[in-house]
Amino acid sequence: MFPQNNQSIMMAAWLKAQNWKAPKIGFTRYFISLKDYQCLRDAAPDMVVGDIAIPCYEIRSVKSPDEIQKMRVAGRALSAGMQAAIDCVKPGMMETEVLAEAEYAMVKAGSMGSSFRMQVLTHRRQLDIHPYASHARLENNAPVVIHLGASCEGYVAKMCRTVFFGNPNPESVKIYEVLKEAQNIAVAALHPGVTCGEVYAKTTKYVASQGYEKQWVMEHIGYGVGIRQSEFYPIIAKNSPTVLRENMVVDLLLPTIYIPKIGGPRITDTILVKKDGVEFLSDFPACPVCK
Q: Mean of the per-residue pLDDT values for the chain?
A: 93
Hey, which residues does 223 pair with through a beta bridge? 235, 251
- The tens digit of pLDDT for each residue in 214-268 reads 888 788 999 999 999 999 899 999 999 999 999 999 999 988 888 887 878 999 9
Mapping DSSP to helix (H, G, I), strand (E, B) and coil, where does residue 179 land? helix
218: burial class by Cβ within 10 Å (0-12, 13-18, 19+)? middle
130 pLDDT exceeds 70? yes
Of the listed ranges 80-94, 161-175, 226-240, 247-261, the one predicted with least confidence: 247-261
pTM score: 0.91
pLDDT score for 1: 47
- The tens digit of pLDDT for each residue in 185-227 reads 999 999 999 999 999 999 999 999 999 988 887 889 999 999 9
282 pLDDT exceeds 70? yes
Domains, the chain, ordered by start? 7-51 (no CATH), 60-290 (3.90.230.10)
Q: What is the DSSP letter of 260?
A: T
